[in-house]
Structure 1
Amino acid sequence: MKQQIIECIEKYQTIIIHRHVRPDEDAYGSQMGLAALIQSNYPEKTVYTPGTHDPALTYLGEPVHVEDEAYNGALVIVTDTANQERIDDQRYTMGAELIKIDHHPNDDAYGDITWVDTSASSCSELIYELYEYGEEHCAWGLPAQAARYLFAGIVGDTGRFKFPSATEKTFKTASKLVKHDFDRSTLFDGMYELSKELLQLQGYIYQNFHMNENGAAYIKLPKELLEEYGVTALETSALVSSLGNVKGIRAWAIFVEEPDQIRVRLRSKGLVINTIAKQFRGGGHPFASGATIYDWSEADDLIAQLDEVCAQ
């Protein structure tokens, strides 16, 4: 599979790399890390990284604007995106060939070439694996900027190596990446520093979340509350792991009201909760998923299912 991907990369002059909407560190890390890797080893090629920018990720980088004409005869690669509806910028179908590289369950096997490995901690880990193959067979090098992107993606998707997805292979990959010349302290500052407004909202979450005897917990953040704290719905993604620090919690849901829907972020400590997400227009990893609902009564239904999973 890696050989096929490299042969495809070598065949095309223009390569456009997409990732998922509402990006996180692994979305940016795998997309921009792969772009930096290709550009460094094939400087004659044109590589684009489109998508809607999340200002919270500016410390990592920013996407670029791509004209429609660039897709003519181009190779399109989509990283870290399980389902086609979650691909940021639906022009991904306009290229000559499509590659999917991902570590989520392969429920939507799109693409002419599909490389999915659910045992990987992150898509960034897979990109590093692709680099190692390229290093051995094509004399690829890894620029420091690509190493920085991939390290950020791995750290972000493993919760600083706390999640079960961080395997021995993950730690070995991280140990190789940190040998490259990038400033980890500055990178960590960008990843984990929070604004005063977000910290105050985090305090509200700790004071007002609900948890029952089974370890099922939740917090509802209506849009009026977000306005009161001066925080956008997108910015709340930085707080999704906050309740994981609470003793006794087994699984939790954070409900964030947006103008036209309610975004649900689901997390657990070892319980499979993506089955719940799939019932509410979502999906994701077994222990980290997302869903979408359209009224607060649905939230109560989801909470009931979360409690049932914890009770079992």
Structure 2
Amino acid sequence: MTDDDDAPTTDGTGIDPARQRAAVRKRYGEIASAASSCCGDVAGDCGESNDPSIGGETELGYSEDDLDAVAAGANLGLGCGNPTAIASLEPGETVLDLGSGGGFDCFLAAREVGDGGRVIGVDMTPEMVERARENVETNDATNVEFRLGEIEHLPVADGVVDAILSNCVVNLSADKRRVFAEAYRVLRPGGRLAVSDVVATADLPNDLRDDPASVSACLGGAAAIPTLESMLADAGFVDVAIEPKDESESFIREWDPDRDLADYLTAATIEARKPTNDLESASEGTAA
């Protein structure tokens, strides 16, 4: 855990949680519906998306092979990194994607775990889940399924997942502690968390933190790195590592024409592991 007197104190938003969830659900439902009326991806064939989290896909960490491997319609361009690149997935593993959207990261994960593995995507937006399920057939992904549910209340059994992915979604939650507690619950002992997300590097202006549109656009809900480290440790995770991505500065600057959001935000990789047993958990706690 990091102790830094100069660290930003950003933790959550000034919005009522129910209102925040409604704003997020509305925004991404509209994105899914708009994408479904197009001939391809939101950020491609359908024209320029208004979502500020869209950057160049290769700039976010995807290779050209990644982009070519998934059929059009799954990549909605809503991420801020490539969580599959840091997850070290193995054949036969069970993978869970928090906030799976159109399913792009799920289909990439399915390639890694193979026919003997399984990928589960969870999203709280009915339109997104419907779209993702349509993409299963398009991508011939028989080892991928999508479930409707909130990441704070996962529709997944205890201790059945080897790796959890998420791409620019945890920041949208009004209860990040609950998200990490749920992630811990569904992971097997030794299971791991591999997340790409936006984090706060300075206290966010109130007009960002208190605006539902900014929160639902992956801006106002970003938490500071020390806050996230504390939440993960409190949930029981060990080997917590949060690494800012300096290269994200270029596309974050494009998110707001009126101010430089790179003064407040950066993309980061967030990794952590569930202890293999109680003894390991206790020893990590003593070391901290």
Superposition TM-score, scaled by structure 2 size:
0.31
More helix by share: 1
Structure of higher RCO (CA pairs closer than 8 Å, 6+ residues apart): 2
Superposition TM-score, scaled by structure 1 size:
0.29
